[in-house]
Amino acid sequence: MAKAGHNGVDPKVLARWTGEVLRVYDDLAAQKIANMDKCKEIREPLTDLYDAAKNAGLNLKAFKSHIKVELAQRAYERAVAKAEPEDDEDLEAFEALRAVAEAGDLFDAAVQANEKKKGGGKKATDDDEKDVRPRHLKDLEQQRVEENTRRLEEGISGLPNADATDA
């Protein structure tokens, strides 16, 4: 065994393991650069695609926001798919949160609330009455439903006609 340094650490052992660990970090850095180059190459068409969408009549700011929402939804779905409930109570909590987080359900609920206000719509069933979510989640959903209902009543403006073109 080599002679230990002044603090009890063998400089040769320290140098060897430091070198090993730094080689791994060098490999990681090289891979990150290669990945960034590949991502840059893949991203190149985005500018042209956004320009084409704008020329097709889409409001670019609204369209980019739509894309962000779609990407966030995908990330959410991946996270939910990875999450594994440990028991039935967890499973119920997961399902309740998923119901609140799904925009389609909230929008549908707003449409139904709007129809009920106008005298139409479906009637509540026993399943509709069995809401086991905590109060704060119910309140949050109610706020979202009210906001969507308000938007429906006012009419959603500022969204371009999909058939319109500016060319």
d(CA 144, CA 104): 12
pLDDT of residue 110: 61
| CA atoms within a 13 Å half-sphere pointing along the CA-CB vector of 23 | 6
pLDDT of residue 96: 75
- Which are the contacts of 13, defined by CB distance < 8 A and separation ≥ 6? 2
pLDDT of residue 29: 96
pLDDT of residue 79: 81
Tokens matching residue 160: 């371009």
Angle between helix 103-117 and 135-154 (nearest 10): 60
pLDDT of residue 104: 58
pLDDT of residue 132: 74
d(CA 15, CA 3): 14
At which residue do the structure tokens 């009210």 appear? 146
Based on its alpha-carbon atoms, the radius of gyration of the chain, rounded to whole angstroms, reads 27
Chain centroid offset of residue 116 CA = 31
Tens digits of pLDDT across the chain (167 residues):
456 666 788 889 999 999 999 999 999 999 999 999 999 999 999 999 999 999 999 999 999 999 998 998 898 888 877 777 778 887 788 777 766 666 555 556 666 776 676 665 455 555 556 677 788 888 888 888 888 777 777 765 444 444 444 43
